[in-house]
Amino acid sequence: MNVSAPFIHRPVATTLLATAIVLAGSAAYKQLPVAPLPRVDSPTINVGAGLPGGSPETMASAVATPLERRFGRIAGVTEITSSSTLGQTNLTLQFDLDRDVDSAARDVQAAINAASADLPQNLPSRPNYRKVR
């Protein structure tokens, strides 16, 4: 005997069974638990430095490049992004997810201190940093 024979001979029962399966499936679908996306805070630190009157090219070569070299030596840095405009340069450092942002900030401060000899002498203030939460 063919497995599909009862369904072919009784089309009304087949339709009712299919409808019942669809309704049960849609009711069960609404009851499925949905987990929210995990909250992931990537440890990020922004560093800014200013040199009044410095062109973007000067800011990139004289300020951003020495800082990038020092920041590249910090353990756990996954990405360094820099942006230089007229008289201002901004660097964004992203760290591994398991890296504590406070210890990363201490390493960034040490790198800024180490890079001070490579930065222009007429820099009015030292580069500053802030933790991004």
Instruction: Give the whole-angstrom CA distance, residue 28 versus residue 23.
Output: 9
Instruction: Give the whole-angstrom CA distance, residue 81 versus residue 58.
Output: 17
Q: What percent of the chain is predicted at pLDDT more than 70?
A: 98
Cβ atoms of residues 91 and 68 within 8 Å: yes
Q: What is the model's pTM?
A: 0.66
Instruction: Give the whole-angstrom CA distance, residue 64 versus residue 58.
Output: 9
Q: What is the pLDDT of residue 40?
A: 74
* Residue 114 confidence (pLDDT) above 90: no
Q: Give tens-digit pLDDT for 49-97.
A: 988 888 889 889 888 899 999 888 888 889 999 999 998 999 999 998 8
Residue 100: which residues within 8 A CB-CB, separation 6 or more? 43
* Residue 25 confidence (pLDDT) above 90: yes
Query: What is the Cβ-side half-sphere exposure of residue 133, based on CA atoms within 13 angstroms?
Result: 1
One-letter amino acid for residue 25 of the chain? G
Tokens coding 31: 């009851």
On average, the pLDDT of the chain sits at: 89
